[in-house]
Structure 1
Amino acid sequence: MDKSIKAAVALVVAGMAVAASAQEVVKIGTMSPLSGPQAHYGKDNVTGVRFAVEDLNAQGVTIGGKKIKFEVVAEDDAADPKQGTAAAQKLCDDKVAAVAGILNSGVAIPSSKIFNDCGVPFITGAATNPELTRPGYPGVFRIIANDNALGAALAGYAADTLKLKNVAVIDDRTAYGQGLANVFKKDAGAKGVNIVATEFTNDKATDFMAILTSIKAKKPDAIFYGGMDAQAGPMLRQMVQLGMTNVKFFGGDGICTAELAKLATGTKTLGNVICADGGASLAKMPGGTEWKKRYDAKNPGVFQVYSPYFYDATMLIVDAMKRADSTDPKKYLPELRKSEYSGVTAKIAFQENGELKVPLYTLSNYVAGKKTPIGE
């Protein structure tokens, strides 16, 4: 080979080596139930993070003088606190730079301590129990309204708008379901609603006939259920079997999904559902409509509720990294706390405790089997 050609090849190889050394891989962790009855939520959540990472990598982000390639590390927490804390520790061991994830409050609350102890910032766009932010960990954030807001909104609608007098309450004994039910009971009771029964089940149950039969004897105007759609769907079907077709059915974001209509299999009680999401409706989100078109085109049939929040959580983390010009959590965390980020879901800014400064919520019902924001 000619010496000049050899020299040219050597220069190209050297240039490629320099380019490779100037690229840094940054891992973004996420975890949600990817198995079990809540896997449809988990797939949507993780896909929201992946969608953000795809957009970021297409942008060609440079931080600290290096081109960054973001990678997603996803773990299955199975909606179980024990498996969830093991998954959280695994993300720490994998040296993720941040975590955008977790559906269930019962998983998020113990996992938040693990992330705090290993110095990894954590943002949830789904776990709503107020206890999550109570310890005051500096790297824990929530970009969705918590149960205090949702429970109060549902209680207000039941008492002030529908003028309901007698309501039964069921919860699934999880941190999420029980916490939301307690807020509803407190706020509804303060508005003069009579809580005629308080029952509980679990987040694996499918047979609610005994509970519903007991409640039916109390002649409630409505049932409030603190839990997820995997239980709410069968519950609605069994209410029909017991002739409880005029009883309203209230719940939080855990039941407020497109999947609920499938799980209820077209039963007439679906039309009695009033549920609350912790955020604006897609149509009222700053970028919701356009974002969902892109999301559905690439991920048909995946969308449930929370993916735009996990998309925003991922983008918010990287925005803080850019402003700090560092992917080191110790360096970008102060910028994350000062965020004023215009996301798909909202303008995101935090209180000192990591909660949103301006939490929003949306009440919805089901019209012709389709989840529909009330008043839109």
Structure 2
Amino acid sequence: MRPIVKIATPVAAAALLLAACGGTTGGSSDTSSSGAASGGGDCPEGISIGFFGALTGPDANLGVNINNGVKLAVEEHNAESGACQVAVEEYDSQGLPDQATGLATQAVGDENVVGIVGPAFSGESKVADPLFDEAGLVGITPSATNPALSENGWGTFFRVLGNDATQGPAAATYITDTLGKQKVYVVDDATEYGKGLADLVRQDLGAAKVKDNTVQKGQTDFSAVVSDIRGSGADAVFFGGYYAEAGLLLKQMRDAGLTQEQVAFVSDDGAKDQGLVEAAGGPAAEGAILTCPCLPPEEAEGTFAADYEEAYGTAPATYSAEGYDAATILLEGISEGNVTREDLLAYVKSYDAPGVTKQLKFDEKGEPSEISVWAYKVQNGEIVADQEIGS
């Protein structure tokens, strides 16, 4: 694996941060270092990798976390002596599947783009990945966890974290065994991701599931759901979905007097963001549990966490390290002369090297060889690692 190179100047770090936070639809972000060599003859001018995911909209925090990791990897790559200079094309889906077709078509049509980090969410992946597969454009998602994505026969699909077939059972086990809850109310947000994961939790809870409900993306009034939770006698709620709705549901539960001790609140990686704490109003989020098949960023190998904080002025968050790993695989392939889509795809299929989150290697369906699921909790207003589930 290529060595990690720290960003050398505050100017470079500031430029990196501004580029990451100013996401555009199909926009280009130049992360090349002014002092780096332009690369050898095998390096096509304008060669790029894409980031595909939400940079604006209600779920943007998760996409920005990933994009920051991608940009950090590219900045370090471009700073190496003789490196083939790589740009990042940003495809801001806003996390909406109905945006994915146009953006995927745009990416496929740009011959400079040889690989994609993403799509970030499962719903947009379901729409975009068939187009990538048809074009032979490799995509490595750091966050889309619906298990069905790897069952479609797409030869260009890869992901660097475990899917919800591992997260769902782990969440159910944590609720019943670690929290000791036996009457669980399960809610989902009707999205490809949220419903898919909640259905797996329902299945693994078995008799411990007392009732189901479904809400909608963008919903803000959960009073009927809260009333139903109270009437069900549930001692825990599992919410499958994203942080905006999860935070509001949690706030309204606590405002109704359902404390964490009475009715534990458990959600997922899509809700594992500081936006949940903010939406819940701060104190109401205390004690909430979030599961994720992602490594605690502070446990990433090497100097990743310190380099990220130096570049962005904040600690890495959900999927930042996974985004860095996904980008690194593509960048190492380019460094080894795999500068066409066909060659880079073949390189990714055979990849086997340590990343900052794990040993990175894929099976024939594009699933990672190493999988872990962690529980996190809200403590003093921050989301902190609790334990690896099953370890």
Partner of 1:318: 331
Choose from 296, 301, 307 the match for 1:281.
296
User: What are the superposed Cα offsets for residues 141-161 of structure 1, whole Å, 9 maximum, x if unpaired?
Assistant: 010111111111111111222
Choose from 310, 316, 330 the match for 2:342.
330
Following superposition, the deviation at residue 24 of structure 1 comes to 2.9
Mapped contact 1:320–1:332 kept (Cα < 8 A): yes
Choose from 363, 367, 376 the match for 2:375.
363
Across the aligned residues of Structure 1 and Structure 2, the Cα RMSD in angstroms comes to 2.2
Distance change >3 Å, CA 20–CA 118, structure 1 → 2? closer
Mapped contact 1:40–1:304 kept (Cα < 8 A): no
* Partner secondary structure for residue 24 of structure 1: coil
Kindly name which structure, 1 or 2, has the bigger radius of gyration based on alpha carbons: 1
Mapped contact 2:248–2:279 kept (Cα < 8 A): yes
Mapped contact 2:114–2:344 kept (Cα < 8 A): no
Choose from 113, 119, 133 the match for 2:136.
119
Partner of 2:384: 372
Partner of 2:276: 260
Partner of 1:221: 235
Following superposition, the deviation at residue 301 of structure 1 comes to 4.1
* Letter aligned with residue 278 of structure 1: P
Mapped contact 1:43–1:302 kept (Cα < 8 A): no
Alpha-carbon separation, structure 2, partners of 1:227 and 1:36: 15
Following superposition, the deviation at residue 19 of structure 1 comes to 8.2
* Letter aligned with residue 271 of structure 1: E
Following superposition, the deviation at residue 60 of structure 1 comes to 3.8
Partner of 1:10: none
* Letter aligned with residue 361 of structure 1: V
* Partner secondary structure for residue 294 of structure 2: coil
Mapped contact 1:126–1:306 kept (Cα < 8 A): yes
Partner of 1:34: 55
Alpha-carbon separation, structure 2, partners of 1:18 and 1:293: 28
Following superposition, the deviation at residue 374 of structure 1 comes to 1.3
Q: How many residues align?
A: 349
Mapped contact 1:130–1:146 kept (Cα < 8 A): yes
Mapped contact 1:170–1:181 kept (Cα < 8 A): yes
Alpha-carbon separation, structure 1, partners of 2:127 and 2:159: 15
Choose from 145, 150, 173 the match for 1:156.
173
Give the alignment's TM-score, normalised by structure 1. Answer: 0.88
* Letter aligned with residue 142 of structure 2: G
Partner of 1:82: 98
Give the alignment's TM-score, normalised by structure 2. Answer: 0.84
User: What are the superposed Cα offsets for residues 321-345 of structure 1, whole Å, 9 maximum, x if unpaired?
Assistant: 344x221121232221111121111
* Letter aligned with residue 115 of structure 2: A
Question: Within the alignment, does 1:211 sit opposite 2:211 as a pair?
Answer: no
Following superposition, the deviation at residue 53 of structure 1 comes to 1.0
Alpha-carbon separation, structure 2, partners of 1:311 and 1:259: 22
Partner of 2:161: 144
Deviates more, 1:224-233 or 1:257-266: 257-266
Partner of 1:186: 203
Mapped contact 2:243–2:276 kept (Cα < 8 A): yes
Following superposition, the deviation at residue 18 of structure 1 comes to 12
Partner of 1:6: none
Mapped contact 1:46–1:101 kept (Cα < 8 A): no
